[in-house]
Amino acid sequence: MVLGLKSKITLGMVVTYTSYIGYISLRTQWEIQQREALYHRKQSTLQSAHPELDQEPSGRFLPLVIHGKFENPFKEYRAQSLFEFFLVRVMEVVELITGGSDDKDGHHHDSRLLHKDIAKLRATLPIYQPDMALYHHPADDGELPELLKRFVFTWLGQSCSILQISGINFLTDPIFQDYLINPYIGPQRITPSPVQIQELPLQSLQYVLISHNHPDHFEDYSIAAINNQAEWIVPMGVGAHLKRKGVYKVIEMSWWDRYEIQPQQVSATKSKWEVVCLPAMHWSGRCIYDNNSTLWCSFLILKDNKPVFYHAGDTGYSESMFDEIKTKYSGVFFGMLPIGQYCPEWHQKPRHISPIESLTISECMGIQKMVGVHWGTFKLSSEHVMEPQQLLHQAAKDLSREKDFKAGEFGKTFVYDLTAFESGTAGGDTEREIRAGKSVLCR
């Protein structure tokens, strides 16, 4: 059979691309093996001569760059090709048309009804009114812990949350619009944001933490609304997009970097505050051609060298990566970990953790309180929309930690007292509504 010119060009492109991704995969595995070998040689030396240095991060989980692109330095990771990417998009279209398949218990959940039966959806996924006054006016209140000991958290959907620690306001991975790409293509939110971005305390919002540049974690609408009113803390390469939008208050970080922040609040200046950029097993890109051109990460907020808040961003599960994070930073007060977008497992596992894996990580890092996010906001994977919550709550119950590990509740504001955490004791086991039911106090 004689191939035509178009067929030859197409075949040549496929062969070239396949050869390229094969080479990148082999080169990445070689780099990982080299790092592992060096790590084990150093470990044997340190343990015999300098055991006190064993807590320092090793070089095996530094960012890995191959031919100008970031790659994952984790043996558990498997990169997706364009072939896999488009195959999964076709599967998503089929699911959209047919309504999806049966769940693991054999029950059929028609995903086409998610946007149609709003009343039923809201009964399943209620939206609460956040207590935004706490963020706008963080004054001392008889019902609240004193400002320096106060931790306030509100989940707004996906990995977007607003939190306040000792009077300092932080925003994570802002996403407020009802769609990701555009109003026609979507994907559309199945749960709208509990607040509009204009309702946030933009004048007193001091820091925005961006874990990576995927559209469901980093939207242009939020960039325009916040602009230079807050300082943006982002992984390497993401600052270029912000600067193109006119934002210049940008701090770029690499894995294991520590950045000392300078709170404007007088009450918080007596403490030392740092943001730590930590590894994550994921990828980046806002369109097809910029794949992995910027870094991805997780974040940790330290108060006087104690880990108060962990923002995992998006990540797959790497036991060795989290063991290394634990070696340096363990005993975290509050963790925000993703629990959705894990199906089909053959495709998602390298990039997204399951609810069970979120608990494994929480136990590994010694997280006292964990909220599961990155679920119930969009329909971006094939598990039923409520499954992440159900699996997390059952697994937490099996561990007798159902009061500590919970799925996020849209818009509900939780207030924690840091006194017990800072003194090294447990706390936060009792909950009661305060401020006329607008917040929940955990002590």
Local confidence band at 240 (pLDDT 50, 70, 90 cut-offs): very high
Q: Check pLDDT > 50 for residue 249.
A: yes
**Count of helix runs (H) and strand runs (E) in the chain:** 11, 20
Contact (Cβ atoms closer than 8 angstroms) between residue 152 and residue 334: no
Which token pair is 146?
Answer: 């004193």
pLDDT for 53 equals 53
pLDDT for 391 equals 98
Q: What is the pLDDT of residues 207-226, one digit of tens each?
A: 999 999 999 999 999 999 99
pLDDT for 50 equals 54
Q: Where are the alpha helices (DSSP H) in 76-117?
A: 82-98
pLDDT for 41 equals 87
Does an H or E element contain 65, and which?
strand 64-66
What angle is formed at CA 384 by the lines to CA 382 and CA 386, rounded to 5 degrees?
140
CA nearest to 364, candidates 408, 333, 319 = 319
Contact (Cβ atoms closer than 8 angstroms) between residue 278 and residue 61: no
Q: Terminal CA-to-CA distance of the chain, rounded, Å?
A: 76
Question: Region 418-441: what's the mean pLDDT?
Answer: 85
Phi and psi, residue 209, nearest 5°:
-105, 120
Q: Check pLDDT > 80 for residue 286.
A: yes
Residue ranges with strand state E in 204-333: 205-209, 231-235, 250-253, 258-261, 273-278, 298-303, 306-311
Q: Check pLDDT > 90 for residue 95.
A: no
Local confidence band at 108 (pLDDT 50, 70, 90 cut-offs): very low
Question: Region 403-426: what's the mean pLDDT?
Answer: 91
Report the chain's mean pLDDT, rounded to a whole number.
90
Q: How far is CA 25 from CA 66, 67, 323, in A?
A: 10, 12, 24
Q: Check pLDDT > 60 for residue 113.
A: no
Q: Check pLDDT > 60 for residue 158.
A: yes
pLDDT for 119 equals 76
Longest Cα–Cα distance in the chain: 84
Which token pair is 293?
Answer: 């051109």
Contact (Cβ atoms closer than 8 angstroms) between residue 400 and residue 133: no
pLDDT for 20 equals 82
Question: Region 64-74: what's the mean pLDDT?
Answer: 97
Q: Check pLDDT > 90 for residue 46.
A: no
Question: Region 174-195: what's the mean pLDDT?
Answer: 92
Local confidence band at 66 (pLDDT 50, 70, 90 cut-offs): very high
Q: What is the pLDDT of residues 342-370, one digit of tens each?
A: 999 999 999 999 999 999 999 999 999 99
pLDDT for 412 equals 98
pLDDT for 263 equals 87
Which of 39-43, 130-134, 176-180 has the lowest average pLDDT? 39-43
CB count in 10 Å sphere of residue 250: 18
Q: What's the CATH superfamily of 121-442?
A: Ribonuclease Z/Hydroxyacylglutathione hydrolase-like (3.60.15.10)
CA nearest to 160, candidates 440, 410, 357, 420 = 410
pLDDT for 184 equals 84
Q: Residue type at 443?
A: R
Q: Check pLDDT > 80 for residue 4.
A: no
Local confidence band at 83 (pLDDT 50, 70, 90 cut-offs): confident
Cα 237 from Cα 65, distance rounded (Å):
12
pTM comes to 0.92
pLDDT for 175 equals 98
Radius of gyration, CA atoms only, the chain = 22
Q: Check pLDDT > 80 for residue 282.
A: yes
Cα 88 from Cα 341, distance rounded (Å):
13
Question: Region 94-116: what's the mean pLDDT?
Answer: 56
| Domain boundaries of the chain, sorted by first residue | 121-442
pLDDT for 433 equals 94
Cα 6 from Cα 2, distance rounded (Å):
12
Which token pair is 168?
Answer: 């300092």
